[in-house]
Homo-oligomer: A and B are copies of this chain.
Amino acid sequence: MEDIEIETVGEATLRDPVLVEGLPGVGHVGKLAVEHLVEEFDSEELTRVYADEFPPQVTVDDDGVTELAHASFHAVSTDGPDLLILTGDHQAQSHAGHYHLTDTFLDIAEDMGAESVYALGGVPTGELVEEPDVLGAVATNGGIDPLSDAGVEFREGEPAGGIVGVSGLLLGLGGRRGLSAACLMGETSGYLVDPTSAQAVLEVLETVVGFEVGYESLEERAEEMKEVVEKIQQMQGQQQGMPTDDDLRYIG
């Protein structure tokens, strides 16, 4: 096996697709958002990326069949522009691995004609957020106005630690390639898988990219999470404050 291997698993003709990335991260906001798009629209898995920087691990599906750790590109046809969705379950082990994987992701996306990139994720607030704002950051000055018009907040000094991982590098390396790249980050507690924040991010994406999607399934999932939170809060009636990471580990 090479350091990185690209496997073609499907075919689709994409017209000027927009790359939309959602890998695991804070509140699984990005991953929930892109998985929602893959499920709601006609979609086709095109390409898998295997890497020796991913965990040495297979997942086991419900039939007992294993799959080697990988990231996937999906072609998604909306009522507006075509989307090229990047998702997966893993990030790289080392700093260098992050750089080389993101470079590969950008190579693939550019080969498929993508010229703009949206990295989706969450930004932790430390407390439950009922109506999450969406924070933004862009790779060049060019793209801020349409995002602001769509309700994205640009706040001085936020996110405080910058943007890390593949999302950050899609802007950092994508910007250096001349791509138009933006990061949309939904506010989220940081303690829970957060479908509400994922919806907020998608509503912005709808506006700026130009498509429409339904949210019934995400809203159902958000209801379920609300019930979980209420149960935890009751259980912790006599205790103080937020559920801890340990309480919530089984969720999601």
A53 x B172 contact (CB < 8 A): no
At the interface, is chain A mostly helix, strand, loop or mixed? mixed
Which residue of chain B has its CB nearest to the CB of A56? Answer: B98
Inter-chain contacts of A176 with B (CB < 8 A): 68
Closest CB pairs A-B (n = 10):
A68-B172, A56-B98, A64-B154, A52-B99, A52-B96, A59-B162, A58-B172, A58-B168, A93-B95, A60-B137
Q: Which residues of A contact B (CB under 8 A)?
A: 1, 3, 52-60, 62-69, 92-100, 102-103, 136-141, 144, 154, 156-159, 161-166, 168-169, 171-173, 175-176, 183
Decide: A157 and B62 in contact? CB cutoff 8 A. Answer: yes
User: Which residue of B is nearest A181, CB measured?
Assistant: B66
From known contacts A52-B100, A103-B1, infer whether A141 and B63 are also in contact, taking CB-CB under 8 Å.
Answer: yes
**Nearest CB on B from A57, distance (A):** 5
Whether B164 pairs with A57 at a CB distance below 8 angstroms is yes
Q: Which residues on the B side are within 8 Å of A64 (C-beta)?
A: 136-138, 144, 154
Query: What are 30 A-B contacts with C-beta separation under 8 Å?
Result: A1-B103, A1-B173, A53-B95, A56-B98, A56-B99, A56-B165, A57-B161, A57-B165, A57-B172, A58-B137, A58-B169, A58-B172, A60-B162, A60-B163, A64-B144, A64-B154, A65-B137, A65-B138, A65-B139, A65-B140, A66-B137, A66-B138, A66-B162, A66-B172, A66-B183, A68-B169, A68-B175, A68-B176, A93-B94, A95-B97
> Given that A64-B137, A172-B68 are known contacts, is A166 also in contact with B56, CB under 8 Å in the complex?
yes
If A62-B157, A64-B137, A138-B65 touch, whether A163 touches B57 (CB-CB below 8 Å) is yes
Bound state CA distance, A136 and B162, in angstroms?
34
Q: In angstroms, how far is the closest chain B Cβ from the Cβ of A69?
A: 7
